Amino acid sequence: MLAIFPDTAALEATDLTLGGVSAAELAQEYGTPLVVLCEATLRARVRALREAVGDGRVYFGTKALPNVALLRLLREEGIGADVASAGELAYAKAAGLDGDELVVHGNNKDEAFLADAATIGAPVVLDAPDEARLAAAAGVSDVLVRVTLGVDADTHEAIRTGHHGSKFGLPPDQARALVADALDRDLNVVGVHVHVGSQLQDFDAQAETIVRLAAFVARCRDDLGWVAQVADLGGGFGIRHHPDDEVPDAGELARSAATTARLAFVEAGLPQPEVWLEPGRCLVGRAGVTLYRVGSVKRLPERTWVAVDGGMSDNPRPQLYDARYTALSATRADEPVDEVVSVAGMHCESGDVLIDDVALPSPRRGDLLAVPATGAYTLAMASNYNGVTRPAAVLVGDGVATVIRGRETIDDLLRHEIS
């Protein structure tokens, strides 16, 4: 079980500790639900990815967990940020990121967003047929072109992005026309961008995409006299959310991606590109644990329901992607695991189920549950459904906890209401 928890997770007698801090103490001090991020795990994952890409660049996929303190920590480790909205750009700027420490994305960028990117000198990934015109008018200098090469990744259909008909990027003929348009407008077209999907289980789809990408750049060289200096390969490297998951190490996938790109470009008669990666989940996913307090316990003939004080408002992934999680009884870790239960959220939806089946010490009201591998796409996708306030987040390390996101209050919910 601890293999999918943060690196510093340990069991001390009856209690789970994270970053040298007792989970029970964290819950008592900061309330629940509470997202706990382990600093040591974050830094270790960042360093592994940076080493894997060599002299390339790594940009954090901010959508996985937009947070100023987190972005500042990643910047300390030499990681930039991939941002896809004015809000994400604001988080990054507040963390001190600037210029080519950022890559600007989005399939529907407006003039104001592009102008903001231009002001700080951030490269922009062109994603639509008219974006060269918009970028030039906004004063953008450096651009990449996102090409969709028709490779279906082995992942949930909602997080595939490289297939034919995707809403992201452009198929090769239209992408080539966009490169030509950008060049005609005197934009500095530094490279190309691809992304095949998220929570990738293997390297096959990405390898095929990279080979097709090199062929696309070779065609642009022949037709337009232009060669990409940068191959931005996106991200999507998976993590284990459950002990039964079999997911390759993200560092190895990143190393394979960078090596494959360099070889594919050379084999296509092109100079080796500078490789950029945009990982999100694999940097923060395992670093995060969500703590919940158990409320009602209903032992029915069909199953036992254990309700917690959160649910789909702080982690909608089970409903969106059929994501599978597990849980640990954080203050009863020494007791026999003697009952299989289902963990439900507190929301008015029958589908608000965090975990279908998990073995725990026979649950009771007041227990503290720890759900691992929740650092990515949980708090980032949280909502106020049922008028529930979003959780706080703390960073733990060396026995110290630091609040990096305050808990919302009822006053926060009412702040924008007009009566």
Place of tokens 């529907």: 108
Residue pLDDT, tens place only, 68-109: 999 999 999 999 999 999 999 999 999 999 999 999 999 999
How many residues make up the chain in this entry? Answer: 419
Which residue out of 38, 220, 282, 348 is catalytically annotated?
348
What's the order of all strands across the beta sheet hosting 10-12? 10-12, 15-18, 21-22
- Which regions of the chain carry the CATH code 3.20.20.10? 39-284
Q: CATH code for 2-31+287-414?
A: 2.40.37.10
Q: For position 157, what pLDDT does the model report? A: 46
Question: 39-284: what fold?
Answer: TIM Barrel (3.20.20)
Cβ neighbours of residue 318 closer than 8 Å, sequence gap 6 or more = 312, 324, 325, 353, 354, 355
Is 348 catalytic? The answer is yes
Give me the pLDDT at residue 200, please.
Answer: 63
**Side-chain half-sphere of 233: how many Cα atoms within 13 Å?**
33
Residue 67 pLDDT? 98
Q: Report CA Rg, the chain.
A: 22
pLDDT per residue as tens digits for the range 217-253: 999 999 999 999 999 999 888 899 999 998 889 999 9
What local confidence, expressed as pLDDT, does residue 207 receive?
A: 87
pLDDT of residue 305: 98
What pLDDT tens digit does each residue of the chain (419 aa) get? 899 999 999 999 899 999 999 999 999 999 999 999 999 999 999 999 999 999 999 999 999 999 999 999 999 999 999 999 999 999 999 999 999 999 999 999 999 999 999 999 999 999 999 999 999 999 999 999 999 987 764 443 443 344 466 677 999 999 999 999 999 999 999 999 998 876 667 678 888 889 999 999 999 999 999 999 999 999 888 899 999 998 889 999 999 999 999 999 999 999 999 999 999 999 999 999 999 999 999 999 999 999 999 999 999 999 998 999 999 999 998 899 999 999 999 999 999 999 999 999 999 999 999 999 999 999 999 999 999 999 999 999 999 999 999 999 999 999 999 98
Domain limits, CATH 2.40.37.10, in the chain: 2-31+287-414
- Closest Cα partner for 345 from 317, 318, 374, 309? 309
Give the per-residue pLDDT at 246.
Answer: 87
Confidence at residue 230, expressed as pLDDT on a 0 to 100 scale? 98
